[in-house]
């Protein structure tokens, strides 16, 4: 059990890192980081106004600020998938900020040494009163941005608000055609596209319990409203033809139940 738990946690962290890498491709993210860095350089906190000129502050905060932003963005992503999902967003952000305080102090210390400003009389711990509240406060705000956009989109009232519909990107809509299990992930397919989500198939089907669909294969759930036809295969099984050109296998043991479900659905569509 412990091995399984560790494996799932590793998959969660890998998922968070992939999300971070995807975030880094967003020009808006870099625009925000660049804008904040410029404002901080102009403000000159931590005695950089007194000890460095404008160019020096731009270089200092360009290096320290960018590294800090990437560090905290990644920590917020990781904490977002590892911490309990019922924790409030701001609490997760505060936790990520607390974890990031020491690394951030190290970054500020390296920046000070590189800029020739040295360390406070108390050494690296002299930064703590300034860094800790700033990092935790900003991290709480960062986590509100890091939380996937679909977490801020209300799920349908008849659907569980703890899983699939909180992770499905809002731009894909909520009209799900089919769901396919792929290792620790599920591939959710809608008329607008598809998305890989770190989630168990059993949890996904629970969230879809109020939809007109069924699990027709151990790796497939389909929405019966998107079924176009049912064909037999040479092996005695069958396949469902869905909208968007999807073809889903149906094993022989499930063929009768699938036919009955399709037939029961037709009178409701009339």
| Domain ranges (residues) in the chain | 2-147, 160-269
Location of structure tokens 């956009």:
149
Average pLDDT over residues 48-54: 88
> Comparing C-alpha atoms, which of 105, 142, 98 is closest to residue 124?
105
Question: What does the alpha-carbon distance between residue 92 and residue 73 come to, in Å, rounded to a whole number?
Answer: 12
Segment 172-194, tens digit of pLDDT: 888 899 999 987 889 999 998 99
Segment 200-230, tens digit of pLDDT: 888 888 888 888 899 998 899 999 989 988 8
Q: Give strand pairing partners of 180.
A: 187, 220
Helices (H) and strands (E) in the chain, counts: 9, 8
Look at residue 150 and tell me whether its pLDDT is greater than 50. Answer: no
Question: What does the alpha-carbon distance between residue 80 and residue 95 come to, in Å, rounded to a whole number?
Answer: 10
pLDDT category at 2 given cuts 50, 70, 90 is very low
Interior angle at CA 184, CA 182 and CA 189, nearest 5:
45
Q: How is residue 223 written in tokens?
A: 């929405």
- Please give the radius of gyration of the chain, using alpha carbons only, rounded to the nearest integer: 25
Residue 267 neighbours by CB under 8 Å, 6+ apart:
none
CATH number of the domain located at residue range(s) 160-269 in this protein: 2.40.50.1020
Instruction: Kindly list the distances between the CA atom of residue 254 and the CA atoms of 108, 130, 214, 216, 219, in Å, as whole numbers in the listed order.
Output: 62, 64, 11, 7, 13
pLDDT category at 147 given cuts 50, 70, 90 is low
Location of structure tokens 């099984």:
237
Question: What does the alpha-carbon distance between residue 147 and residue 81 come to, in Å, rounded to a whole number?
Answer: 10
């Amino acid at each position: 059990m412990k091995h399984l738990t560790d494996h799932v946690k590793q998959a969660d962290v890998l998922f968070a890192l992939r999300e971070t890498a995807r975030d880094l491709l967003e020009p808006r993210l870099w625009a925000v980081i660049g804008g904040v860095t410029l404002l901080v350089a102009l403000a000159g906190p931590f005695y950089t106004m007194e000890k460095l000129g404008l160019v020096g502050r731009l270089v200092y905060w360009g290096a320290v600020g960018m590294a800090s932003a990437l560090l905290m963005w990644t920590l917020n992503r990781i904490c977002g998938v590892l911490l309990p999902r019922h924790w409030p967003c701001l609490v997760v952000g505060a936790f990520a900020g607390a974890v990031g305080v020491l690394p951030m102090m190290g970054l500020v210390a390296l920046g000070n040494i590189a800029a020739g400003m040295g360390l406070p009389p108390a050494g690296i711990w002299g930064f703590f009163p300034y860094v800790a509240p700033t990092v935790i406060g900003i991290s709480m705000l960062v986590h509100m941005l890091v939380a996937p956009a679909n977490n801020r989109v209300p799920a349908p009232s008849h659907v569980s608000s703890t899983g699939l519909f909180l992770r499905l990107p809002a731009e894909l809509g909520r009209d799900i055609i089919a769901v396919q299990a792929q290792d620790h992930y599920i591939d959710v397919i809608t008329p607008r596209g598809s998305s890989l989500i770190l989630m168990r198939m059993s949890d996904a089907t629970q969230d879809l319990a109020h939809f007109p669909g069924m699990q027709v294969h151990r790796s497939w759930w389909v929405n019966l409203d998107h079924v176009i036809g049912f064909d037999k295969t040479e092996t005695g099984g069958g396949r469902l033809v869905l909208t968007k050109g999807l073809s889903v296998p149906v094993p022989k043991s499930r063929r009768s139940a699938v036919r009955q479900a399709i037939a029961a659905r037709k009178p409701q569509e009339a």
